[in-house]
C-alpha cells in the first residue's frame, strides 16, 4: 500500500480533497484521515524526492523505488535471513522542487528547501508524520539488536538529494523538547526507546560538514537508532560542480560527509553477491562510495550521476539496512 502526502512551498501539508494548506494544529487529524498502517505490514518506508522533480515524476519515482525494492526482495529474499517477510506500507512525501537548470535554479531550490525546514512547516509536518506512524505501528522489541523480535513494524526513511535534508531536519526537529510535541516517542534519560530504524540518503545535496554544523543532534540526542548511510559518486555533477559553485564546496553526493571527525566510516557499494556486515556499518555516519556503479551523464549532462541510483545494488543496500535493523 502506498500513500501520497503533498507539501506546499512553506512546507505546509496540503489537504488532498481541497488542495488547501492544513493548519499546524490540524495536522494530526489530517494524518489520521490519510494514513492507516495495516497490521500485516512488516515495515513502514517514508521516501522524500530531490531536486527538479515534477509532481507526476515525484510519485512515479517513489513508486518505482518501492516497486524495485519489493521486486528485489521477492527474487533474492533468501539473501536476507533476518527478513523472512517484507510487506511494506509506503509513504511518499512530495514537495515543490522544480526550477530552471543552472546555478540560479539550484540555489533557488537549495534556499527553498532550507526555508521550508527552518522557517516553514516541513520539518514539523514530517516529524509529526514519523510520530503518527510510530504511534500506529507495532514497535519492535526494545533492547540490543540481537534481542529484538521480528514481531514489530520497522520504520525506515529514504531520500534523494535535497530530500535527505528534509528527513535529517525533521528527525532533529523531533528531538527538540522546546517545540510542540511531534513525535510520540517518550525518552528515558535522553534515550528514545522507539526510533527511526534506518536512514539512507542517495546523493545528498548538503555540505560535507552538515552533520557537525546543521544536524549535530542526529549524532546524539535524537530519535534515530541506526547509522546515517550516504551514497556518493565521483560522477555526480549536481552535488559536485553545481553545489561547489552555489556553496563554495562540493556536496555529500560527490565527496561524502567529512565531519565530525571520528564519527565517519567509508565503504564501497557492494555488488549483488556481497553481503553487508554489521561491522561495516558501526560508524554513526557511513559514506558509501558508489562511483563504480553510479555512472553516466557525460558532459554536457547537467547533473551527471546525481540521479543514477536506479540499480539493483541500491536496492540491495536498502534491504540490507532493513534486515540489519532487526
Residue 162's nearest CA partner among 7, 318, 322 is 7
Mean pLDDT of 91-117: 83
The torsion angles phi and psi of 160, rounded to 5 degrees, stand at -130, 135
- 42 is written with which cell numbers? 512488516
pLDDT reported for residue 53: 85
Instruction: Give percent of the chain above pLDDT 90.
Output: 51
Tens of pLDDT, residues 218-239: 888 777 878 999 999 999 988 8
For the stretch 268-295, pLDDT in tens is 999 999 999 999 998 999 999 999 999 9
End-to-end CA distance of the chain: 22
Is 200 within 8 Å of 321 (Cβ atoms)?
A: yes
pLDDT at 69 over 90: yes
Please tell me the predicted confidence (pLDDT) of residue 181: 42
Instruction: Give 167-204 pLDDT, tens digit per residue.
Output: 888 888 766 654 444 443 333 334 455 578 899 999 99
State which H helix or E strand residue 127 sits in: helix 122-135
Count of CB atoms within 10 A of residue 59's CB? 17
Parallel/antiparallel/unpaired status of strands 264-268 and 228-232: unpaired
Q: Are 145 and 326 in contact (CB under 8 A)?
A: yes
How confident is the model over 150-154, as a mean pLDDT?
70
Q: What is the pLDDT of residue 116?
A: 85
Q: How far is C-alpha 272 from the chain's CA centre?
A: 22
Residue 266 above 50 pLDDT?
A: yes
Mean pLDDT on 28-47? 91
Domain ranges across the chain? 2-324
Per-residue pLDDT band at 141 (split at 50, 70, 90):
low
- Tell me how far apart the alpha carbons of residues 220 and 209 are, in angstroms, rounded to a whole number: 16
Is residue 79 over pLDDT 90? Answer: yes
Residue 107 has pLDDT above 70, yes or no: yes
pLDDT at 183: 40
Residue 2 DSSP code: E
Q: Would you tell me the crossing angle of helices 312-324 and 55-76 to the nearest 10 degrees?
A: 70
Q: What pLDDT does 298 receive?
A: 53
Give me the chain's average pLDDT, please: 85
Count, in order, helices (H) and strands (E) of the chain: 9, 8
Amino acid at each position: 500500500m502506498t500513500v501520497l502526502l503533498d507539501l506546499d512551498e512553506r512546507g505546509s501539508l496540503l489537504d488532498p480533497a481541497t488542495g488547501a494548506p492544513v493548519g499546524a494544529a490540524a495536522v494530526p487529524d489530517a494524518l489520521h484521515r490519510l494514513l492507516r498502517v495495516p497490521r500485516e505490514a512488516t515495515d513502514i518506508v517514508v521516501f522524500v524526492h530531490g531536486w527538479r522533480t515534477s509532481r507526476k515524476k515525484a510519485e512515479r519515482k517513489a513508486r518505482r523505488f518501492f516497486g524495485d525494492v519489493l521486486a528485489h526482495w521477492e527474487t533474492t529474499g533468501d539473501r536476507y535471513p533476518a527478513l523472512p517477510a517484507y510487506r511494506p506500507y509506503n509513504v511518499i512525501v512530495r514537495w515543490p522542487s522544480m526550477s530552471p537548470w543552472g546555478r540560479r535554479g539550484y540555489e533557488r531550490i537549495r534556499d527553498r528547501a532550507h526555508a521550508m525546514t527552518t522557517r516553514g512547516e516541513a520539518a514539523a509536518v514530517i516529524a509529526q508524520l514519523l510520530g503518527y506512524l510510530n504511534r500506529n505501528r507495532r514497535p519492535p522489541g526494545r533492547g540490543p539488536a540481537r534481542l529484538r523480535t521480528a514481531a514489530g513494524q520497522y520504520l525506515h526513511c529514504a531520500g534523494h538529494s535535497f530530500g535527505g535534508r528534509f528527513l535529517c531536519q525533521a528527525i532533529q526537529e523531533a528531538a527538540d523538547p522546546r517545540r510542540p510535541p511531534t513525535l510520540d516517542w517518550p525518552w528515558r534519560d535522553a534515550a528514545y526507546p522507539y526510533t527511526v530504524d534506518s536512514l539512507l540518503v542517495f546523493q545528498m545535496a548538503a555540505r560535507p560538514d552538515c552533520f557537525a554544523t546543521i544536524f549535530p543532534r542526529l549524532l546524539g540526542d535524537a530519535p534515530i537508532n541506526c547509522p546515517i548511510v550516504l551514497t556518493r559518486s565521483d560522477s555526480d555533477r549536481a552535488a559536485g560542480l553545481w553545489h561547489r559553485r552555489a556553496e563554495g564546496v562540493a556536496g555529500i553526493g560527490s565527496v561524502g560527509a567529512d565531519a565530525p571527525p571520528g564519527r565517519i566510516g567509508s565503504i564501497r557499494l557492494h555488488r549483488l553477491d556481497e553481503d553487508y556486515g554489521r561491522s561495516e556499518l558501526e560508524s554513526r555516519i557511513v559514506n558509501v562510495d558508489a562511483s563504480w556503479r553510479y555512472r553516466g551523464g557525460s558532459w554536457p549532462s547537467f547533473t551527471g550521476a546525481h540521479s543514477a541510483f536506479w540499480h539493483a545494488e541500491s536496492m540491495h543496500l536498502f534491504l540490507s539496512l532493513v534486515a540489519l535493523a532487526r
